[in-house]
Amino acid sequence: MSVLRIVVADDHALMRRGLKTMLESHPGWEICGEAHTGTEAVAKVRELQPNVAILDIGMPEMDGLEAARQIRQTSPKTEILVLSMHYSDQLIREILEAGIRGYVVKSDSDRDLVLAVEALANHKPFFTPHATELMLTNLGTSPTAFAGGGQTLKDRLTTREREIIRLISEGNSSKEVATTLGISVKTADTHRANIMRKLQVHTVSDLVRYALRNQIIEP
């Protein structure tokens, strides 16, 4: 029997430990690597070429979505399963747009997680009934939903912009954002203005709501 090799990426040691214990209890499955940031996940997957990469959405430095996009480029044979705190239709759109074929939330059962890994190991997609229902609802309301919900590529947030949203939503000023990221205040302000324009929001409260809804920050 060939071994199914899995890389697990989550910034919380507790989550990684739980995933490792549960998945390794499955005969023939091995956690061949762990990562705690998106950047590290991309590097580990490139180095280890696992069958499946399990990526948390909300990781520092680079979130799970961007890590998935990069993994798809650098390690196209690795199937990707994304984990998030709760279901979000916006997130499902972005997940599908990134070419990710597996999605479970952290409140889903162990059984769902095992089924997801089994499906992906066989190069088949896996979405829970709840996720599928959200997709179908989206399709019903917007035929272009899976092409990015009407959002053009130009308007898609960059990794740096998502990082800035996280910092602003955590209460940091432009000066603090600039210091953290090693950029000038003017650049931080420009990013901020671009983010507001792309998301069509006008206040920091709107931005925080967006960040919570899309799991850029945790409640």
Partner 1 sequence: MNLDGDPAPARERTLRVLIADDHEAVRRGLRSAVWGAGWEVCGEATNGREAIDKVQELDPDVVILDVSMPVMGGLEAAPEILKTSPKIRVVAFTMHESQQIRNEMAKIGVHGLAVKSAPLANLLDTIKSVLPKERKD
Helix extents (H) in 75-173: 89-97, 110-121, 129-141, 159-169
For the bound state, the minimum distance from the C-beta of residue 46 to partner 1, rounded and expressed in Å, comes to 25
Tell which positions 107-136 bind partner 1, by CB under 8 A: 107-110
Smaller CB separation from partner 1, 105 or 199: 105
Binding segment (CB under 8 A) for partner 1, from list 1-9, 16-24, 42-50, 187-195: 16-24
Told to check if 101 binds partner 1 by CB under 8 A, we report: no
By DSSP bridging, strand 126-127 and strand 79-84 are unpaired
* Angle 45-91-163 from CA coordinates, rounded to 5°: 65
Tokens of residue 174, six digits: 């432009």
Helix (H) or strand (E) holding 211: helix 204-213
Strand 29-35 to strand 79-84: parallel, antiparallel, or no bridges (unpaired)?
unpaired
Site residues for partner 1, 182-201, by CB under 8 A, read none
The only residue of 7, 8, 9, 16 in contact with partner 1, by rule CB under 8 A: 16
Task: Show the site string, 49-88: x = touches partner 1 by CB under 8 A, - = not.
Answer: ----------------------------------x-x---
We find the least distance from the C-beta atom of residue 71 to partner 1, in angstroms, to be 21
Query: Residue 13 interacts with partner 1 (CB under 8 A)?
Result: yes
Task: Supply 116's token pair.
Answer: 């997801």
Of positions 106, 130, 160, 198, contacts partner 1 by CB under 8 A: 106
* Strands 126-127 and 52-56, sheet pairing: unpaired
**Binding-site string for partner 1 from residue 17 to residue 46, where x marks contact by CB under 8 A and - marks none:** xxxxxx------------------------
Q: Which amino acid type is present at position 42?
A: V
Distance of alpha carbon 163 from alpha carbon 60, whole angstroms: 8
**47 scored as a contact of partner 1 (CB under 8 A):** no
Q: Could you give the 3-state DSSP secondary structure of residue 152?
A: coil
Residue placing its CB nearer to partner 1 in the complex, 170 or 206 = 170
Distance between CA atoms of residues 100 and 92, nearest Å: 10
- The contact set with partner 1 (CB under 8 A) reads 11-22, 83, 85, 106-110, 218-219
